[in-house]
Amino acid sequence: MKRILGVVAVMGLAMGCSESTEDREPVEVVVDSFNVALAGSFIPYEAERRQPIADAIAAHDADVLCLQEVWTQGDKELIRDTAAETYPHSAFFENDLDTPIDDPTDQQGEVPPAPTTVPCPEVEVSDGVTIADQMNDAVDCVRDNCSTIPGSEDGQTTSAECAAESCTLAVAPLLAGNAEQQRCYACIVPQLPTATFGDIRSSCETVVNQDLAFGGQNGVMILSKYPLQNAEEWVLPATWNRRTILNATVELPNGGELDTYCNHLTPIFDDITFPYTGQYGDGMTGAAGWQAEQELQAQKLIDYVQATSGDRPAVILGDLNAGLAFEDEGIAGEGEATFESLAAVYTPAYTDDYTPLCTFCSTNPVTDTESSVWIDHILLNALEADAVTDTERVFDEDVVPVEGVGMVPLSDHFGIRSVIVVP
């Protein structure tokens, strides 16, 4: 049985029976996915980008829009309110650290045990030095070198880049330590974008389940020109950030319905500064652990869509952190096994003549990637490929002025659009 949560912003619900497929004309639906990268200090120029993102969405012409990385409730409300005239219907949920996982089983069908100790305990690891001491040394370094309020416990991290450049040595004992020390490291890093230094210290020493960024919030929301019904979220196993499937049924003007699944799967980190510290890596570490978790999420997504929509028309969209390589277009592969597993079940919603374009690109000044990938996707359930009449990349222009830098795009991702004929 699916669990329906109560905190959702869905306006104008229209209940009632729809016509049979034979009695109605098909309708074209413009569906977009866009990762807006409102992720605190982890992504550059957030303050400059925030209002332009909301304004651009309000001026946008999609019918249904799936957003990712709207990590705070305040940003969700800002976008909803700014775009309310264009998109009078919206759906999103509020989570916290205690929000339960809907299907917490791992690759073997087992439920990993919940932690019973705080992430950064007063446990000695060498010569009178505790894990808590090492945590404090790391936080001290970021506070003293990369703080919005220099030297203050009330300050926040100015940028992830500054923290990485200034404090590699300070975090090294945790990063290179045992599993307990790496868990402490994993408590600090996800909190750096938005938490104060005082809050990081306090939570890592006292909160047993303090292992998710943004207080356990998810980052997805759906905006629609058409009424939404039956909005619910399905919480996935995830490390460092809450990952959820946001599902709502769009009531179309022809009397039909389109189930919509808005997603943001775990990325595959391959940098030494992002060790896999979760419980869903199928026994693997590093990039292999992240990939195993991502593939598990993809399978749970497949199972959930099947249980919820069956053979009803549906779109599955979002930042999947997975996509195929297209060498001729300068696109590298990432999480290819994940994408292939999804494409084996669903139909990629792209026209035959669409030339692949990266959505997370090395040429984007908001990113720090060296390779370009196509990881933002739209997939179809119970709809054929010929239902797609147009495909294009969107939200890819330099429109945000940044002092000393010039114009930059709205996000470190570009969006993707499909125009779909729904019976």
CA atoms within 13 A on the CB side of 79: 32
CATH of the structural domain 24-103+216-422, one choice from 3.20.20.10, 3.40.50.620, 1.10.1740.10, 3.60.10.10: 3.60.10.10
The average pLDDT across 58-68 equals 98
pLDDT tier at 206, thresholds 50, 70, 90 = very high
Assign 20 a pLDDT band (cuts: 50, 70, 90): low
Are the C-beta atoms of residues 296 and 280 closer than 8 Å to each other?
A: yes
Residues in the chain: 423
pTM: 0.94
Q: How far apart are CA 119 and CA 126, in angstroms?
A: 17
Q: What's the rounded mean pLDDT across residues 322-345?
A: 98
pLDDT score of 19 more than 60: no
Q: Give all strands of the β-sheet with 314-319 in edge-to-edge order.
A: 228-236, 243-251, 257-264, 314-319, 376-381, 347-348
Confidence of residue 14 (pLDDT cuts 50, 70, 90): very low
Closest CA to 118 of 188, 169, 175: 188
Q: What is the pLDDT of residue 177?
A: 95
Amino acid at 179: A
State the average pLDDT over residues 230-252: 98
Q: Residue 18 has what pLDDT? A: 43
pLDDT at 3 over 50: no
pLDDT for 5 = 36
The confidence score (pLDDT) of residue 24 equals 86
Instruction: Specify whether the CB–CB gap between 367 and 39 falls below 8 A.
Output: no
> Residue 60 — very low, low, confident or very high, per pLDDT cuts 50/70/90?
very high
The pLDDT assigned to 23 comes to: 77
CA-based angle 6:206:290, to the nearest 5?
65
Residues 6+ apart with CB under 8 A from 243: 218, 235, 236, 237, 263, 264, 265, 266, 297
Q: What is the pLDDT of residue 192?
A: 95
- Quick: pLDDT tens for 344-361: 999 999 999 999 999 999
Q: How does pLDDT run across 64-102, given as a tens digit for each residue?
A: 999 999 999 999 999 999 999 999 999 999 999 999 999
User: What is residue 47's predicted lDDT score, i.e. its pLDDT?
Assistant: 97
pLDDT in the model for residue 255: 96
Please spell the DSSP secondary structure of 332-346, one letter per residue. Answer: B-BSHHHHHHHHTTS
Share above pLDDT 90 across residues of the chain, in percent, rounded to a whole number? 92
Q: Which two tokens stand for residue 367?
A: 């990113």
Is residue 1 pLDDT above 60, yes or no? no
CA distance 132 to 151: 19
pLDDT number for residue 67: 99
Share of the chain above pLDDT 70, in %: 95
Instruction: Share the mean pLDDT of the chain.
Output: 94
- pLDDT tens-digit readout, 346-400: 999 999 999 999 999 999 999 989 999 999 999 999 999 999 999 999 999 999 9
Lowest mean pLDDT among 17-26, 203-212, 297-306: 17-26
Burial, 161: exposed, middle or buried (Cβ in 10 Å; 0-12, 13-18, 19+)?
A: middle
CATH 3.60.10.10 in the chain, residue ranges:
24-103+216-422
